[in-house]
Structure 1
Amino acid sequence: MREIGNPHPRLPLPAPGQEDDPAVFLAWLREAIPMVEHLGIQRMVRDDLTLAWELALPPSLNDKGTGFGGSLTAQTTLLGWCWVTLWLRRHSLARDVVVAEASQRFLAPVTDDYRITCFPEHDTGPVELADSLAARGRGRIALIQQLWCGDTLCLEAHGDYAVLAAD
């Protein structure tokens, strides 16, 4: 059981040239952040610039039988954190990531299982983050998260994530 004030051990970095196994990363995430077990994440997919989760709606139901805004907000924020963490791991960097700022716009009710995608707000974001880390040892990146229920965009979120300096 996790104890307050004690950081969870980091997942070892993948071997150079190898990617994180999504199942291994999600298993670690469930241990590191206990609420993840209850989010309904069914699958994680990623490519060079996009990270996506497919999620079941039942764990996030509200009293109206649709998606609970607080749960959906937590999921978008966490997906952004995962995007930055996995980007760092891909670049063989073990660093702490924190959300510096986040906002959401709710556009339509979530009425079924859904997917959330996350990608940089600007195409140059990852290069600028890499340059900042190399020059100053820390950096920030702006990400967009979109929650889709079928073909309907239900929520759009924006987050600024900070990569802290090495210990």
Structure 2
Amino acid sequence: MSDQAQSDLETLLYRDIPLTRAMQVRVASWHEHQLQLQLPLPANCNLHDSMFGGSLYCGALLAGWGWLHLRLQEAGLHGAVVIRDAQISYLLPVTTDARACCSAPEAAAWSRFVTIFERRGVARLQLESQVLTAGGEVAVRFSGQFVLQRGITG
């Protein structure tokens, strides 16, 4: 996907999810169906000089949401994407800038998701994301169930 698609996603995030502006989230890359978002520490720092847990949660969730948004664009599918359920594990404090990453689920899960959506107009997809420290250590693991529903804009 082009740099333009990355820029378009960042514009969409800033326009439709105002919190992303305060967090200064940046779309770092979209390559081989992996999305990486940059989370700067200064904009997300807490009183302990580490990244605020809420910012880590939002970054991990946004990586999944953004991944699905970009993948749906590629597939020509349209509808509203919302989070239905999520679990998060905070493994390490984050004291540097970080990256929230989401990779593609297994091909069979994606195929099943598309088939169900095309048939019923609503489908669920489980996505895994993680937040990495500047040194590449996994600081956060996130699992979210995202729902795509036809006929709703957003």
Tell whether the structures are fold-level matches, with TM greater than 0.5.
yes
Q: 1:28 aligns with which of 3, 12, 31?
A: 12
TM-score (norm 1): 0.82
1:118 is matched with 102
Deviations 1:90-143 (A, max 9, x none): 112221000000110000000101111112443422111111112212111111
The 3-state SS of whatever aligns with 1:21 is helix
The 3-state SS of whatever aligns with 2:94 is coil
2:42 is matched with 58
Which of the two has higher C-alpha Rg?
A: 1
CA RMSD for the aligned pairs?
2.0
1:73 is matched with 57
The question of 1:106 aligning with 2:107 is answered no
Distance (Å, rounded) in 2 between the aligned partners of 1:19 and 1:59:
24
- Mean alpha-carbon deviation: is it higher for 45-54 or for 94-103? 45-54
> In 1, are the aligned partners of 2:34 and 2:101 still within 8 Å (CA)?
yes
2:147 is matched with 162
Distance (Å, rounded) in 2 between the aligned partners of 1:151 and 1:18:
25
> In 1, are the aligned partners of 2:9 and 2:66 still within 8 Å (CA)?
no
Unmatched tracts of structure 2, length 5 or more: none
> In 2, are the aligned partners of 1:120 and 1:142 still within 8 Å (CA)?
no
TM-score (norm 2): 0.88
Distance (Å, rounded) in 2 between the aligned partners of 1:22 and 1:160:
23
Q: How many residues align?
A: 151
Q: Which has the higher helix share?
A: 2
Identical-residue share of aligned pairs (%): 25
> In 2, are the aligned partners of 1:141 and 1:160 still within 8 Å (CA)?
yes
